[in-house]
Homo-oligomer: A and B are copies of this chain.
Amino acid sequence: MNRKTLIEKIFERRSFLCVGLDSDMSKLPACLASDHDAMFTFNRAIIDATAPYCVAYKPNAAFYEAAGIVGESTLQRTAQYLKEYYPDHFLILDAKRGDIGNTARMYARSAFDILGCDAVTVAPYMGSDSVLPFLEHEGHFVVLLALTSNGGSADFQMSRDEKGKRLFERVIEKSREWGNADNMMYVVGATRGSLIGDVRKLVPDNFLLVPGVGAQGGSLEDVCQYGLTKDCGLLVNSTRGIIFADSSEHYAEGAAAAAHALQEQMAAQLDKLKH
């Protein structure tokens, strides 16, 4: 899915919600205990229930890798299910990959060719040749880590260089030499309030993928105040607040309600725009 279509879907569905599919085996509802394909059953039910309220899904590779081959197969089948039944939803593999050129090429193949994702999160530490191979896949996106939502982000991302620039700002500035708004997005944590505004000044047109709303303490109003553009320009992710909203056999309805509530807040924000 390209940028133009993503924007269309956002305004049609009145939502810029991304649902994180971190389907931790140990946190699945008890009613799935005897289901031999519990992760996939869970994902399918969550997707079916939340699809009307979101524009994107973001499975995190770690939760599937931790379940071994069965988990890897679940990730692949989840991606296939989304591509087949929900082709109008944007699919992000949250993998935070980053390796030298010939290896990055393999990760790109895995995310885009094998799993059929539209985008993959990439870590910037290794620089240009760890990112460029992903950008060779036309019509796909790199979502580059800039300022993450965790406590450890203060360790290096906020450190200033000789000219007073913070590392996350250098990452964004440098990466503008590699791609553009049609093939790059940035991860910017919602727990960082006005810092989203600092990022927005550097990349006025790129989409920002914003985790940290809800469970991690970020506010949707703050995110929109600093990050919203005339094309929306935001994908706001919620994971635990949606997929684990209800641990009973009504988990799918619980997820739908949580997603719907966020979608309504997002619709109110989009209504303020003159698109």
Interface positions of A (Cβ within 8 A of B)? 22, 24, 60, 62-63, 65-66, 68-69, 72-73, 76, 94, 96-104, 106-107, 109-110, 114, 123-131, 145, 148-157, 159-162, 164, 167, 170-171, 174
Contact = CB atoms under 8 A, between A and B. Distances in A.
B68 A96 contact: no
B106 A62 contact: yes
Nearest to A159: B161
Contact of A103 (B63, B68, B153): B63
Contacts of A66: 106-107, 109-110, 114
A22 B127 contact: no
A113 to B, nearest CB: 8
Contacts of A98: 96, 98, 123, 125
Contact of A149 (B69, B100, B157, B174): B100
Which of A101, A157, A159, A164 gathers the greatest number of chain B CB atoms within 10 Å? A159
B126 A150 contact: yes
Given A62-B99, A99-B62, A150 B125 contact: no
A28 to B, nearest CB: 14
B100 A150 contact: yes
Nearest to A150: B100
A253 to B, nearest CB: 25
Given A69-B73, A76-B69, A152-B126, A110 B62 contact: yes
